[in-house]
Each structure stands twice: as structure tokens, then as C-alpha cells.
Chains A and B, each alone.
Chain A
Amino acid sequence: MIHPPALPHGLQLTADGRLRHFLTVEGLSRELLTRIMDTAESFASVTEQSVKKVPLLRGKTVVNLFFETSTRTRTTFELAAKRLSADVLNINVATSATSKGESLLDTIRNLEAMHVDMFVVRHDESGAAHFIARQVAPHISVINAGDGWHAHPTQAMLDMFTIRRLKQRFEGLKVAIVGDIFHSRVARSDIHALRILGVRDIRVVAPRTLLPTDIATLGVTPYCDLDEGIRDTDVIIMLRLQKERMSGAFIPSLHEYFSRFGLTDSRLVHARPDVIIMHPGPINRGVEIDSAVADGSRSVILQQVSHGIAVRMAVMSMAMQPAITPEKTT
């Protein structure tokens, strides 16, 4: 008898299964992820034209609400919103009201009162985007631009988009994610997306200190040896190693880390010859990746950045779809 009420599932989907918020990849269907990539594909051509705008979000206001510093993610979200013709407001909260003691909820309430339509949120605490999505008015969409160690779903989708463009498939691929899995929202979101899209051989490669407990329950195989971990892989996703990890006793030195887990050309002989090297950025040259690899022919790191704009355009337009559909019909 004593059971608390069922948890509100499907916070990010509308009753008919369309995207309302984009908080996490976990739990979404293969069809929906494919639709995001297909939509991104159609926007990719827009971003390559000389006039790079479509009017899908004209009259809408998008707020980039960043509680944590970011250059790449914020600028690509900003460009994506502008190319959809939305008005964009950038709020860097590190230099704003919460440093004066305003609560997260008050910040949200104040922005809501300005009649905005979408929040793109980055926050250093896991679950922040979920929290905001629960609080906002029904017409507002929340896009998670990274929350703590939990999720970075648009990064995962641009990674999937990049893999699909270059490999044309997901089934049968061998994918290794290398580096600080423990603190990585990118790794978690990539793992969910890869699983949903049908990748069965996913490896996570790191010393034990940087692998979260029970990581295998996510459907991945942990490796503590880089050569073993990347053997015969089609895709290698490198993660940034924050230099302050040494102080938490996660690794002894950057030198030792690079010698065991740094990706170099000589290590790459273990992977498939047509392996692609990905990295969510910003890269630490000589810490997790050698310059020769980062700048080499198999690196697709800069393609990921351009794909980020198309994917974010896709996600933003799809999340606003329930709101903009009535306007289309009138």
C-alpha cells in the first residue's frame, strides 16, 4: 500500500510523443533521435548557404542561461537560434544575479516574466535542467546544454550526427570513449545515444579512478588499457581531462596520464584504419590527445563543431514545434 505517487515520466515529451524539452537522451526512441538527425541534415544545407537564415523561430525569444562558462556550446546555440530567426539573450550567471544571492528559481521566474520562449541551460549541478523544466510555464521549452556530470544531450546528438555522416550506420560499430568518464556528461549522453541507435560494442577506457561505479550497467565494457580499449574500433571519442584532477588523487601526473591514455599516432595502429577521432572540446593537447592526432586526417573534431549548429537548430525547432504549429495553420 505505501507507495509514493508514480514519478512524472516523460517530462520532456508531449502527450503525442513530440519533444517539448530536451533534457536527456536517455529514454528517447530511436525514431526520435533519427528525426533529430534528419532535421539537422536539412539545416546543415542552410548553414552552408550564403544567406544562413530560416524564419522558423521568428518572434521567439531564446535565453542562453549559462551558470557555467562555455564558449563553444554557447556560441553554437546562439548561432543556431539566430539562424532560426529567434531573438537571443545571453545571460552569464557567473557575473549576474545569483552571485548576488538570487536563487535559481528567482532567476527563472524573472526571465519568465519577460515572456521568453526557450531556456538553453548550462549548470554545474546534475538535474538542474530537470528542475527548471518542472518549474517553467507550459509554453516554455528547456534545452539542456549540460548539467553537472549528468547529461549533455545536444553534444551527444551532434556526435551521433557526425558518426552517421561519416559511417552511414550504427549497427556493428565499435566505439571507444576514452578519458575522464567519471566527470563526463558527454560520455553518459553519448553512451545512451549509441545504445538507442543500435551500437552494441561500446567501451569506456580510463584508469579505475575515472570510471564511475557500476558503469557496466549502462551497457558498456570498461577497459583500463588504451590499446585494448581501442582495438578494432571505428570511432574513438576522446574526453577532456581537467588539469585539476590531480589534486583529487584521480591521477598521479599529466605525464603519466598521457603516457597511458594519451592518443597518439602510434597508439592508433590498434584501431581500424578508417577510425574517426572525435572530441567534444576544448582539447588539451599533449594531455589526452597528441597534436598530430587532433590535427590529423582521422580527426573530425572541427566537423563536430559545425554539426553542432545544425543539430542545435534541429532540436530547438523541434522543441518549439508544438508552439509554432498553430501559427502555421492560421
Chain B
Amino acid sequence: MSTPKERVIIRGGRVIDPANAVDDTLNVCLAGGRVVSVGHCPDGFQADLELDATGLVVCPGLIDLAARPGEPGLEHKATIASETRAAAAAGITTLCCMPDTRPTLDTAAVVNLVKERASLAGKVKVLPIGALTRGLNGKDLSDMSALKQAGCLAVSNAYAAVINPLVLRRALEYAASYDLLVILRPEDPHLANQGCVHEGAIATRLGLPGIPHAAETVAVAQVLALIEDTGVRVHFSQISSGRAVQMIRVARTQGIRVTADVAAHQLQWTDACVEDFDPLYHLRPPLRTEADRLALCQGVQEGVIAAICSAHQPHEPDAKRDTFPATEPGIAALETLLPLTLDQVTRGSLDIMTALAALTSQPARILGLESGHLSPGAPADLCLFDPAATWTVNAETWHSQGRNTPYWGCCLQGRVRYTLIDGCLVGNWTGIHTQR
């Protein structure tokens, strides 16, 4: 890792900075861990490090709103050290950690532990998301003020539901007292009913218990009504259905303060992938229909869904070595976040500016971060990637401890060359470099 005082110049790259609507071949100067200029270098700027970005896209570092790096308590799946390394290799400079760890992130002590491990790893910025309720039990409020003091910008109940709407309302209000963002994964547990795939023709054919659209829309409707009552700020995590996109679209036009994200793989696949009982496609929320997939893409392009997240959930091999319903849901997805998002650009469903905004400036805005853009003075968190480079997912190129991805052995397009955090190069780049 280079020292933070370093002055860096990045020459000849295609700078895409969605927050400033910049898309041009420009030089970028960094100093003291901050962006100094984009375009002309200040007179007399002497760089300690010069990066040739010819053929590369230079954009703000990616900000991932939903990841599960395994610590504390799930070190057999992944560790903060392994997953921050993977994040850095994937161009991710800020990683939000969901609170469903063991123990949960419901006390300042556990939050501090995560921050400490992250600082020891010394790679990306890790933002622990606090638990909305104690132990995610859905009943008792967590000590949110203490969580905020410990550094949490947001609280969430992760995949656990708050069943009682009165408790949910009070939790939202209490969070709002400390200006904490509340991240909710909307799913009605009774309607989801321990399903493992989208309820539809494929679930019917395979005889797998389905999760209906209504499991998501009922929860979205409930939360929207509570936001209307309380005025609190809510972010919906991992929207999976077209109907929920429409509900959020309408709510936003009515002035309700709500944002949403989608997992990159939800833009890519449908429940047809489950056809052969392949547990790598056992995801939560489940993959839905082609109509849903198209609506989600459109939602991102329109800005109704502001952000794209990885929903990274690494698992040990045994977690996926059982019958489909008995396997654990989730996909290791940090390192496929950028390639999958870029593929939506190639397919024409997103334009490059929207796609990169959904990975950078939008999640920054949702969390209230000062990063996510390349304005002078902004933290020098950058991602330099080669959009044309292809790479094969294998033990040499993959960094996450979790290998639960259907892309194992596959060729992906779009490869990160350099990740800078506060102006410093991070990552072990030998082995990551691939040929164009």
C-alpha cells in the first residue's frame, strides 16, 4: 500500500463521473487522499505515482450497499480480510456489512469489532449496518443511538422480519430520531412461507415451495404507508419484482422519501435458471420472471431503483451441497458486480452513465457519504477498469473465500486494473492483471 501523502496522476483514461455528468478522456490528479483536479493538472503538480489509464475507464470507487463478509461468527464462510481483498480487486472502495452476523451487529462493541477487523485488513472502507432490533428479533429496539455513535450510518433488520407493524413503526421513528437511514429487505414472512423459489410456472413444475410477488409487494405497501405517516427515510434493499418497482415509482412521484436497490444478478437471470435444481441459483429474494427482470432494468434506467448492489453472500462448499431447498440461499458476488452491471450496458438495457451512477454516486447519496464522485476535494476513492478485458473466474483470479457462483469457470468481460482508496493503491495486483 502506498502512503497517503502520495500525489498521483492518472493519465489518458476515460473519466466517467456520473455525479458531475463527466464522460471524457481526462487526466485526474490526486493528493493527500483527495481528488485535486479532473482535466487540467494544477501548475507545478509533481506526481509521486503516475498511472497510465489508456484504454481504461476511470470512475469513482464502487459502493456496495449489501454484503456479508462473514465476521463475526461466520468465519467458515468468509472473513473481513478475505472479502475486503475481494472487494478491492472488484473496484469496490466502500462495503456495507449487513447486521445478520453472530452475534448480530446490535451493540457498539460488535460494530467496533467489525471496524477493527476492517482496519487491520487495510483494504476497503467497511460500513457496518446496525441491527434495527436487538438480535434481529423483530421485537425489541436496538440501542440505535449507541450504534450511530459507533459509526453506523444505517440500521437494518436484514432478512429477518419485523412482524408487528406497530414495532416496525416505532423502530422507524426511533431510527429517524438519530437520522439513521433504515434499510429494509421487504418480505412478508407469512407469505414467503419458507419458500425457496419464485412462485410461478417453474416452481409448480419442480414442486418447490414458492415465494409469491405478494410477499414483496405487501411488505412494500406496509412500509410505504408507515413512511407516509412518519416521514422517516427508508431504503428498500434488493427489490425483486416489477410490481414493487411500480409501487416505488408511484410513491416517489407522490413525494415519499424512499430509495431502492437491486442485486446485479436480478438484472441478469430469471427463475428459469432454477430448472435443474442448481443450488447456486438458490437466492433470497428469489429470481423472478422475465417480466420482472425487464421491469427491474427499466427501474434502474429511470432512477426509480437508484443503486445496484452485489448482495454478496459467500458460503462454504457444504452450504450448497444438499437438496435445493436444504441449501443456504445466496451468491458470492463482489467480483461479478461490475462485470454483470457492464453487461447490462452491452445489452442496451442501461446506459453507462446510469449504470456507473448506480454503483457509485447513487449509493453514496443514499448513505450520505462524501465519496462517490470525483469533484475536487472528494475522497480519492477510484476504480480503474478495462471494459474490454476478459477474464476467467477461477482460483487464480477469484479472491472471495466464497466460491458459490454459477460463473465459476466462465469468462467475464470488464476487469478492474487499479483500485485507489484515499489516493492509495490497494490490493495485490499480481495475478489480477489479465491480457486484453
Q: Which residues of B contact A103 (CB under 8 A)?
A: 318, 321-322
Q: Which residues of A contact B278 (CB under 8 A)?
A: 7
* Contact among A105, A150, A215 with B206 in the assembled complex (CB-CB below 8 Å): A150
A174 close to chain B: CB less than 8 A: no
Interface string of A1-28 (1 = CB under 8 A from B): 1111101110100000000000000100
* Contact among A3, A104, A149, A188 with B323 in the assembled complex (CB-CB below 8 Å): A104
CA distance A3 to B201 in the complex (A): 22
Taking the closest CB of chain A, its distance from the CB of B140, in whole angstroms, is 29
CA distance A213 to B323 in the complex (A): 22
* Contact among B201, B268, B323 with A125 in the assembled complex (CB-CB below 8 Å): B323
Q: Check if B201 sits within 8 Å of A4, measured CB to CB.
A: no
A292 close to chain B: CB less than 8 A: no
Q: Check if B343 sits within 8 Å of A131, measured CB to CB.
A: no
Interface string of B303-330 (1 = CB under 8 A from A): 0000000000000001001111110000
Q: Which residues of A contact B210 (CB under 8 A)?
A: 212-213
* Contact among B201, B277, B340 with A2 in the assembled complex (CB-CB below 8 Å): B340
Q: Check if B321 sits within 8 Å of A105, measured CB to CB.
A: yes
Q: Which residues of B contact A185 (CB under 8 A)?
A: 207
CB nearest neighbor in B for A181: B204
Q: Which residues of A contact B291 (CB under 8 A)?
A: none
B205 close to chain A: CB less than 8 A: yes
Taking the closest CB of chain B, its distance from the CB of A315, in whole angstroms, is 20
Q: Check if A212 sits within 8 Å of B208, measured CB to CB.
A: no
A2-B339, A127-B206 given; A213·B199 CB < 8 A:
yes
Q: Check if A214 sits within 8 Å of B200, measured CB to CB.
A: yes
B410 close to chain A: CB less than 8 A: yes
Interface string of B194-234 (1 = CB under 8 A from A): 00000111011111111010000000000000000000000
A291 close to chain B: CB less than 8 A: no
Please provide the chain B residues from 248 to 302 with a CB less than 8 Å away from any CB of chain A in the complex: 268, 273, 275-278
Q: Check if A2 sits within 8 Å of B412, measured CB to CB.
A: yes
A2-B343, A4-B407 given; A217·B201 CB < 8 A:
yes
Q: Which residues of B contact A230 (CB under 8 A)?
A: none
Inter-chain CB contacts under 8 Å: number = 97
Q: Which residues of B contact A128 (CB under 8 A)?
A: 323
Q: Which residues of B contact A150 (CB under 8 A)?
A: 206-208
- Which size bracket describes the interface of B in this complex? 35 or more
B406 close to chain A: CB less than 8 A: yes
Q: Check if B322 sits within 8 Å of A131, measured CB to CB.
A: yes
Q: Check if B325 sits within 8 Å of A130, measured CB to CB.
A: no
A286 close to chain B: CB less than 8 A: no
Interface centre among B204, B207, B208, B278 (most CB of A within 10 A): B207
Taking the closest CB of chain A, its distance from the CB of B302, in whole angstroms, is 23
A269 close to chain B: CB less than 8 A: no
CA distance A218 to B204 in the complex (A): 9
B411 close to chain A: CB less than 8 A: yes
Interface centre among B204, B275, B326, B339 (most CB of A within 10 A): B204
Taking the closest CB of chain A, its distance from the CB of B87, in whole angstroms, is 20
A307 close to chain B: CB less than 8 A: no
Please provide the chain B residues from 386 to 436 with a CB less than 8 Å away from any CB of chain A in the complex: 390, 406-407, 409-413
Taking the closest CB of chain B, its distance from the CB of A62, in whole angstroms, is 22
Q: Which residues of A contact B340 (CB under 8 A)?
A: 2
Q: Which residues of A contact B201 (CB under 8 A)?
A: 213-214, 217-218
Interface string of A161-202 (1 = CB under 8 A from B): 000000000000000000000000100100000000000000
CA distance A123 to B411 in the complex (A): 36
CA distance A3 to B265 in the complex (A): 11
* Contact among B208, B275, B322 with A126 in the assembled complex (CB-CB below 8 Å): B208
Q: Check if B208 sits within 8 Å of A149, measured CB to CB.
A: yes
A1-B413, A127-B325 given; A217·B407 CB < 8 A:
no
CA distance A104 to B318 in the complex (A): 11
B346 close to chain A: CB less than 8 A: yes
Q: Check if A148 sits within 8 Å of B207, measured CB to CB.
A: yes
A278 close to chain B: CB less than 8 A: no
CA distance A215 to B201 in the complex (A): 7
CA distance A283 to B411 in the complex (A): 54
CB nearest neighbor in B for A26: B205
Q: Check if A1 sits within 8 Å of B411, measured CB to CB.
A: yes
Taking the closest CB of chain A, its distance from the CB of B243, in whole angstroms, is 15
Q: Which residues of B contact A147 (CB under 8 A)?
A: 207, 323
Q: Which residues of A contact B325 (CB under 8 A)?
A: 125-127, 148
Interface centre among A5, A26, A126, A147 (most CB of B within 10 A): A126
Q: Check if A148 sits within 8 Å of B276, measured CB to CB.
A: no
Q: Check if A151 sits within 8 Å of B207, measured CB to CB.
A: yes
CB nearest neighbor in B for A104: B322
CB nearest neighbor in B for A123: B323
Interface string of A287-322 (1 = CB under 8 A from B): 000000000000000000000000000000000000
Q: Check if B207 sits within 8 Å of A131, measured CB to CB.
A: no
Give me the interface of A with B, judged by CB distance under 8 Å.
1-5, 7-9, 11, 26, 103-105, 123, 125-128, 130-131, 147-151, 185, 188, 212-215, 217-218
**A-B CB contact pairs (8 Å), 21 listed:** A1-B412, A2-B268, A2-B410, A4-B406, A5-B410, A8-B276, A26-B205, A104-B326, A105-B321, A105-B322, A125-B324, A125-B325, A126-B208, A127-B277, A127-B323, A127-B324, A130-B276, A148-B325, A212-B204, A212-B210, A217-B204
A2-B268, A2-B407 given; name 8 further pairs at CB < 8 Å. Answer: A1-B411, A3-B410, A9-B276, A125-B326, A131-B324, A151-B207, A185-B207, A214-B201
